[in-house]
Amino acid sequence: MRNFLIRGVAAGAIALLSLTACSQRSEEGTTSAGTTEAAKGFPADSLIGVALPAKTSENWVLAGDLFTDGLKEAGFQSDVQYAGSSTTVADQQSQIQAMVTKGAKVIVIGATDAAQLSTQVEAAKAAGASVIAYDRLIKNTQGVDFYVAYDNFKVGQLQGQALLDGMKAKKPEGPYTIELFSGSSDDNNSAVFFDGAMSVLKPQIDNGTLVVGSGQTDIKQTAIDAWKPENAQRRMDSLLTSTYTSKTLDGVLSPNDTLARAILTSIKGAGKPLPIVTGQDSEVESIKSIMAGEQYSTINKDTRNLVKQTIQMVKDLQAGKQPEINDTKSYDNGVKVVPSYLLEPQIVTKDNAAEAYANDPNLAPLTK
């Protein structure tokens, strides 16, 4: 079921977010890349390219600002680009190629389409640049040196468990009727999130505790094209009409906050009782929704820490040092297992929101 991962499922307590915490599935506790030849050193004022997808969420917008400021502070020149709003990958392909032409020493890529960047990545490697996959793994190329992300399979596990916990708190005895949503099929993370969630939910589906009302359990049926909220709302509208004219919906697995709010908008528009709905990304409007008792949960994946860790990798590469990693087994892009640094995600509900965001000046006030 795990299309792109080769690690086993591990259960465990939810760890606090930590830049130094190792993945619970990294058995050897690796702290150095060891096998990569990416760390060769280069001038301190070199150009660093950052290619990000379209501004479809608050976190991508924040990431661009953080990279611009953080790379400047570290003494680098930077070229931070966003792909256009279209669903094609052509913008990002041309942006990466331009960064190669300009002589970027490191190119950080948040992939628009994980499967369609191998040509550009190989061109970067041929030009002597190091390539860091940021947040989304880039597939089918030897050219990716490192992957920096939150532990996305665990994100899915946390979402699945939150869905179960929320429904049980609301209605102690099952069975529970649910619907499943997943992200865009061109985003490698979509399958990772979904597989993580299903590692928790499928046993409960198999034993009858959970019932998917529509019967749509395949990721091809649940995927939301381009992560667009209007597509999620349209699908939820259709499900309510076809399946829930008289049946009660207890829960919805939503892969992120933007889609969660669209799903809730659909359900409220239909005048139906609100089910337990999961999310991810700690978006401002979703924190408000959680505190208001509508959306049930989100995932805290502090973009500040993810960008900070990525810039540290760039600084290590500039100095000719091997960047720190903590996982050498989990993320197979189809032709290689990419050395990774995985940060720990944190589940957030109304009960722990104040604690989770205590150090976030933007979100802490929303939890009062």
Residue identified by tokens 């680009």 is 81
> What Å distances lie between residue 234 and 43, 241, 248, CA to CA?
51, 11, 19
Sign of CA pseudo-dihedral 338, 343, 347, 353:
negative
| Percent of the chain predicted with pLDDT > 70 | 89
217 domain-assigned: yes
254 domain-assigned: yes
> What Å distances lie between residue 319 and 30, 39, 43, 117, 312, CA to CA?
20, 8, 8, 27, 11
Burial of 32 (0-12, 13-18, 19+ CB in 10 A): middle
Task: Specify the CATH number for the domain of residue 175.
Answer: 3.40.50.2300
146 domain-assigned: no
**Can you tell me the mean pLDDT for 90-102?**
96
**Can you tell me the mean pLDDT for 281-293?**
97
Residue identified by tokens 């529970």 is 176
319 domain-assigned: no
Number of domains in the chain: 1
pLDDT exceeds 90 at position 224 = yes
The conformation of residue 74, written as its DSSP 8-state character, comes to T
313 domain-assigned: no
187 domain-assigned: yes
pLDDT exceeds 80 at position 335 = yes
pLDDT exceeds 90 at position 237 = yes
pLDDT exceeds 90 at position 12 = no
Host H or E run for residue 225: none
Q: Considering only CA atoms, which of 3, 53, 1, 10 is closest in space to residue 327?
A: 10
HSE, CB side, 13 Å, CA atoms: give it for residue 85: 4
162 domain-assigned: yes
**What pLDDT band is residue 55 in, cutting at 50, 70 and 90?**
confident
Q: Taking a C-beta distance cutoff of 8 angstroms, is the pair 196, 159 a contact?
A: yes
**What pLDDT band is residue 86 in, cutting at 50, 70 and 90?**
low
Residue 294 domain boundaries: 152-300
111 domain-assigned: no
pLDDT at residue 57, rounded to an integer: 81
pTM over 0.85: no
